[in-house]
Structure 1
Amino acid sequence: MRSDLFEYFRPDDDEFEELWRGAVVVPDANVLLNLFRYSRKLSEELIRLFESISDKIWIPHQVAYELLKNQHKVHVSMDAIYDKISGICRDVLQNTNSQLEEFKKEYRQHPSINFDEYKIEFENAISVVKNKLEITRKDHPSDEEYRLIVHRVSDLFSGQVGPAFSSQELEAHKVTVKSRYDNKIPPGYADAAKEDGGIGDFLIWLQILKYAKDNSKNIIFITEDIKEDWWLRVSGRTIGPRPELRREFYEQTGRKFYMYTLVRWLERARQQGEGAISEASVAEARAQFNADVAESEREALSSVRQNLNWINHYRHIASTRRMPDLIERYNEISTSISNIDDVLQAVIKNKTSSELNLSTFEDIFKSRLKLERELLKIRKEMDQLQHSSSSDLPDPYPVIARWRDDVIRSEEKD
Structure 2
Amino acid sequence: MKEKFKNYHKIPENEYSNIWDSAIFILDTNILLNLFRYPENARVDFLKVLKKIKSRIWVPFIAGLEFYENLEHVKNSQMRAYDKIYNLIDKTKSKELLLKDELISDLKKLKLEKRHYDISEEQLISDFKQLSNDYQEKISDIQTKYLFDEKSERKQKITKENLKLLDDLEKLLEKKVGDPFGDQDAINKINKEGKTRFENLIPPGFKDSSKERDSNKRNLTFNSLIYKREFCDLYIWNEIINKSNSLDTKTNNVVFITDDAKEDWWRIVNGKTVGPRIELIDELKTKSNGKIANFLMYNSWRFLEYATDKYKIKLKSETLPQIKKVQENRNFALKYRDGIYIAFKKYINKTNSHVEFVPSQAKHLIIFKDEVLDLIAFDVRTKHSINFNIDMVIKDVMKKFDSGILDKYYSYNLVIIEFDREEYEINRFIYPSYSEKLPSKINIVSNYADFDEVNKEYIIE
TM-score under structure 1 normalisation?
A: 0.70
Letter of the aligned partner of 2:172 in structure 1?
L
Match of 2:132 among 119, 126, 130: 119
- Structure 1 residue 66, shift from structure 2 partner: 0.9
Aligned to 2:68: 68
Query: Does the 8 A contact of 2:198 with 2:206 survive in 1?
Result: yes
Aligned to 1:271: 309
Bigger Rg over Cα: 1
Q: Deviations over 1:166-200 (max 9, x none)?
A: 22211211111111111111111111121235111
Aligned to 1:389: none
* Percent identical residues: 24
* Cα distance change on mapping 1:117 and 1:246 into 2, 3 Å: farther
- Structure 1 residue 87, shift from structure 2 partner: 1.7
Q: Deviations over 1:9-58 (max 9, x none)?
A: 22112332222222111121111111211112111221222112101111
Aligned to 1:360: none
Letter of the aligned partner of 2:192 in structure 1?
V
Give 1:209-358 correspondences, 5 Å limit: 209-215=241-247, 216-253=251-288, 254=290, 255=292, 256-314=294-352
Query: Does the 8 A contact of 1:220 with 1:258 survive in 2?
Result: yes
**Greater share of residues in strand:** 2
Letter of the aligned partner of 2:341 in structure 1?
S
Return the alpha-carbon distance in structure 2 between the equivalents of residues 64 and 122 of structure 1. Answer: 49
Q: Deviations over 1:182-232 (max 9, x none)?
A: 111111111112123511111111101111121053111111111111112
Match of 2:199 among 162, 172, 182: 182
* Cα distance change on mapping 1:106 and 1:19 into 2, 3 Å: same
Aligned to 1:191: 208
- Structure 1 residue 393, shift from structure 2 partner: 12
Letter of the aligned partner of 1:119 in structure 2?
S
Aligned to 2:53: 53
Query: Does the 8 A contact of 2:27 with 2:60 survive in 1?
Result: no
Q: How many residues align?
A: 326
Return the alpha-carbon distance in structure 1 between the equivalents of residues 204 and 157 of structure 2. Answer: 33
Gaps of 5+ in 2: 113-118, 212-217, 219-227, 355-447
Return the alpha-carbon distance in structure 1 between the equivalents of residues 230 and 313 of structure 2. Answer: 34
* Cα distance change on mapping 1:155 and 1:19 into 2, 3 Å: same
1:207 is aligned to 2:239: yes
Letter of the aligned partner of 1:169 in structure 2?
A
The alignment partner of 1:221 has SS state of: strand
The alignment partner of 1:198 has SS state of: helix
1:91 is aligned to 2:73: no
- Structure 1 residue 142, shift from structure 2 partner: 2.5
Letter of the aligned partner of 1:206 in structure 2?
N
- Structure 1 residue 86, shift from structure 2 partner: 0.9
Match of 1:146 among 145, 159, 162: 162
The alignment partner of 1:107 has SS state of: helix
**Greater share of residues in helix:** 1
Q: Deviations over 1:345-390 (max 9, x none)?
A: xxxxxxxxxxxxxxxxxxxxxxxxxxxxxxxxxxxxxxxxxxxxxx
* Cα distance change on mapping 1:51 and 1:212 into 2, 3 Å: same
Return the alpha-carbon distance in structure 1 between the equivalents of residues 255 and 51 of structure 2. Answer: 16
* Cα distance change on mapping 1:21 and 1:141 into 2, 3 Å: farther
Query: Does the 8 A contact of 2:256 with 2:298 survive in 1?
Result: yes
Return the alpha-carbon distance in structure 1 between the equivalents of residues 21 and 155 of structure 2. Answer: 36
* Cα distance change on mapping 1:40 and 1:140 into 2, 3 Å: farther
The alignment partner of 2:351 has SS state of: helix
- Structure 1 residue 160, shift from structure 2 partner: 1.0
Return the alpha-carbon distance in structure 2 between the equivalents of residues 155 and 142 of structure 1. Answer: 20
Letter of the aligned partner of 1:63 in structure 2?
A
Aligned to 1:374: none
Query: Does the 8 A contact of 1:49 with 1:274 survive in 2?
Result: no
The alignment partner of 1:199 has SS state of: helix
* Cα distance change on mapping 1:99 and 1:237 into 2, 3 Å: same
Query: Does the 8 A contact of 1:188 with 1:201 survive in 2?
Result: yes
Return the alpha-carbon distance in structure 2 between the equivalents of residues 264 and 210 of structure 1. Answer: 26
Return the alpha-carbon distance in structure 2 between the equivalents of residues 39 and 240 of structure 1. Answer: 28
Query: Does the 8 A contact of 1:40 with 1:141 survive in 2?
Result: no
Letter of the aligned partner of 1:180 in structure 2?
R
The alignment partner of 2:132 has SS state of: helix
Return the alpha-carbon distance in structure 2 between the equivalents of residues 166 and 268 of structure 1. Answer: 37
Letter of the aligned partner of 2:311 in structure 1?
G
1:172 is aligned to 2:189: yes
CA RMSD of aligned residues (A): 3.1
Letter of the aligned partner of 2:348 in structure 1?
W
Query: Does the 8 A contact of 1:49 with 1:277 survive in 2?
Result: no
Return the alpha-carbon distance in structure 2 between the equivalents of residues 153 and 62 of structure 1. Answer: 17
Gaps of 5+ in 1: 317-391, 402-414
* Cα distance change on mapping 1:297 and 1:115 into 2, 3 Å: farther
* Cα distance change on mapping 1:399 and 1:56 into 2, 3 Å: farther
TM-score under structure 2 normalisation?
A: 0.64
Return the alpha-carbon distance in structure 2 between the equivalents of residues 198 and 77 of structure 1. Answer: 23
Query: Does the 8 A contact of 1:62 with 1:200 survive in 2?
Result: yes
The alignment partner of 1:269 has SS state of: helix
- Structure 1 residue 303, shift from structure 2 partner: 1.7
